[in-house]
Amino acid sequence: MTEEKQSILKTRNVKLWYGNKEALHGIDLDFPKKGITALIGPSGSGKSTYLRALNRMHDLEDNITVTGSFDFMGEDIYAPTTDTVELRKKIGMVFQQPNPFPFSIYDNVAFGLRLAGVKDKDVLDKAVEESLKAASIWEEVKDNLNKSALGLSGGQQQRVSIARVLATKPDLLLLDEPTSALDPVSAHNIEETLLELRDQYAMIIVTHSLSQASRISDQTAFFLNGEMVEKGDTRKIFIDPEKKETADYISGRFG
Amino acid sequence: MDLITEKIKKTSLSTKQDRFGKAISILALLFIAAIVVMIFAFVITRGFATFTSNKINVFDFLFGTNWNPSVVDKKTGLPGVGAAPLIIGSLAVTFLAALIATPFAIGTAVFMTEVAKKRGAKIMQPVIELLVGIPSVVYGVIGLTVVVPFVRSIFGGTGLGILSGTIVLCVMILPTITSMTVDTLKAVPRHYRESALAIGATRWQMIYKVILRAATPGILTAIVFGMARAFGEALAVQMVIGNAANMPESLVSPSATLTSVLTMGIGNTVMGSLQNNVLWSLAMILLLMSLVFNILIRWIGSKGELK
């Protein structure tokens, strides 16, 4: 891939410490403006840790230190002047557990816009509908927008969570194992949703499911023990990996 | 073969121990249940004596405004057993104290759990626990020597009254509401915080739009708990409220509460007399009110359970 021009995010030499323990040992990764990048690797390999560094979720913890360069559309994510609130509006995140707030479906999806000060009912209505459509859940919930989002099934909740993020029109979407808490049918629906969004958004997905990575991602990066071992086109990684560790993991020999 | 069958059919030692433990805990449970039942039975039979053996009308008791059980009213020919001034006094101090304490309690709890977690845990937690443990007579003394003169200097009069009672109770229930609110805020799932922040909420927006909203049932429970405590508190209130069983004219005129009248009067009446029976009726109201508070707490809890 010719990354120089098309990258939305370039990270160089990303290191992260829990206290004195180094958990990420210098990760270099670039992400294109559109399409899905999958981060794969065994548990504890650092892929989620790396993902959460991208929208500064580690700020919530006290003793985590992150270093390295993060160039997000020309801006340094970890610059002291960076407004994390603005940053997180541009870099949305979907978590492993479907986690709608204990409000109605409508209020959930409108949440981000209301935070930004949007009050106009028409604008909100339109954005809610568009986001729910984009997350392919509109047909299922359009008659129950005022019901609590907690009454939905896990898969529906996760798609509402995705709609909630999409409503704020992020430039980059981080997905932290978005289907691992769901049944196969719901997981399949989420995958379909992501595939439909692939042409409009840059997405980074952490996943434990190799088949999921191979189905939906354009590029794949393999993590092991806090190192990024190999990255490349998904097809290449899965058919003809360069490194032995990658080949071993993909063929299920460890991890 | 027979030996094995016999062995299996025989109760083993561990099964016996298991039954023994079960029996002990059931006994303990029955004991406590019996005590509760007896307290209710006793208070209610005594409390009803006013209406059955002394032939006092329940409505006269609940809504009458003249409280003076030892003197017979010349107009009606009945002793003054109108408990309305006391009921109003109790409700007034309870609600006002909760009203004032709640914002402070929520503010403190938010500070402790969201703003300064470390300092909150280190300094505020012990302070709150200490406040809970202070005997109510100490609150009463401080109320009498600090709050009452303060109220007197501003509003004139004696300084004794509902306002002083409210202030003292407010300080007393503040730690209760605060520590329970802290527990609820801590129980708000971490992913609510994360997803609120991840969507571009500021910390303050996260607190008041997501965390406080998710914690509302718990906070309401905390407030009702505080109110139950305020409603039942006797000593400290009695010391600052003035103990004049009149309809409260203002917040700074001497008044009385159910508890203050009870504690003042119960030792000076003869068992079985009307004067004694009406005090039991007051106790019955207190008991029923605490029951109401309890049911309220359970109802809020079951309604707002987070899934």
**pLDDT for residue B80 is more than 90:** no
Confidence bin at B306 (pLDDT 50/70/90):
very low
User: Does residue B249 contact residue B242 with C-beta atoms inside 8 Å?
Assistant: no
Pair of tokens at residue A61: 């913890």
Taking CB atoms and an 8 Å cutoff, what residues of chain B touch A92? 198-199
For residue range B183-208, what is the model confidence (pLDDT) as tens digits? 999 999 888 888 888 888 888 889 98
For residue range B205-221, what is the model confidence (pLDDT) as tens digits? 899 889 998 898 899 99
Confidence bin at B307 (pLDDT 50/70/90):
very low
Domain segments of chain A: what residues? Answer: 3-250
Among B119, B192, B194, B195, the residue to mutate for chain A (most A Cβ within 10 A): B195
Write down the mean pLDDT value for chain A: 87
Class of domain A3-250: alpha beta
Q: Cα distance from A131 to chain B (closest Cα, Å)?
A: 14
What would the 3-class secondary structure string for B98-149 be?
A: HHHHHHHHHHHHHHHHHHCHHHHHHHHHHHHHHHHHCCHHHHHHHHHHHHHH
User: Which among A92, A115, A150 has CB closest to B205?
Assistant: A115
Chain B segment 177-236 residues within 8 A of A by beta carbon are 189, 191-202, 205, 209-210, 213-214
Among B122, B199, B206, B213, the residue to mutate for chain A (most A Cβ within 10 A): B199
For residue range A50-66, what is the model confidence (pLDDT) as tens digits? 999 998 888 877 788 88
Angle between helix axes B274-303 and B13-52 (nearest 10 degrees) is: 130
Confidence bin at B149 (pLDDT 50/70/90):
very high
Helix (H, G, I), strand (E, B) or coil at B153: helix
Q: Which pairs count as long-range contacts for B71-78, CB under 8 Å and 24+ apart, including other chains?
A: none
Please report the pLDDT score of residue A227 as a whole number: 87
Helix (H, G, I), strand (E, B) or coil at B175: helix
AA letter at A239: I
On whether ipTM exceeds 0.85, the answer is no
Q: Is A95's CB within 8 Å of B194's CB?
A: yes
What would the 3-class secondary structure string for chain A be?
A: CCHHHHEEEEEEEEEEEECCEEEEEEEEEEEECCEEEEEECCCCCCHHHHHHHHCCHHHHCCCEEEEEEEEECCEECCCCCCCHHHHHHHEEEECCCCCCCCCEHHHHHHHHHHHCCCCCHHHHHHHHHHHHHHCCCHHHHCCCCCCEHHHCCHHHHHHHHHHHHHCCCCCEEEEECCCCCCCHHHHHHHHHHHHHHCCCCEEEEECCCHHHHHHHCCEEEEEECCEEEEEEEHHHHHHCCCCHHHHHHHCCCCC
Please report the pLDDT score of residue B12 as a whole number: 83
Please report the pLDDT score of residue B1 as a whole number: 62
Domain segments of chain B: what residues? Answer: 13-80, 86-303
Please report the pLDDT score of residue B15 as a whole number: 87
Question: What single-letter DSSP state applies at residue B267?
Answer: G
Instruction: Give me the percent of chain B exceeding a pLDDT of 90.
Output: 40
The residue among B75 and B271 whose pLDDT is bigger is B271
**Selecting from 1.10.3720.10, 3.30.565.10, 1.10.490.10, 3.50.50.100, what CATH number does the domain B86-303 have?**
1.10.3720.10
For residue range B224-271, what is the model confidence (pLDDT) as tens digits? 999 999 998 888 998 898 888 888 888 888 888 899 888 888 888 888
**Chain B residue with the nearest C-alpha to that of A166:** B199
Taking CB atoms and an 8 Å cutoff, what residues of chain A touch B306? 102
User: Does residue A54 contact residue A78 with C-beta atoms inside 8 Å?
Assistant: no
Please report the pLDDT score of residue B234 as a whole number: 86
**pLDDT for residue A139 is more than 60:** yes
Write down the mean pLDDT value for chain B: 88
Please report the pLDDT score of residue A83 as a whole number: 86
Taking CB atoms and an 8 Å cutoff, what residues of chain B touch A166? none
Q: Return d(Cα A108, Cα A101) in angstroms, integer.
A: 6
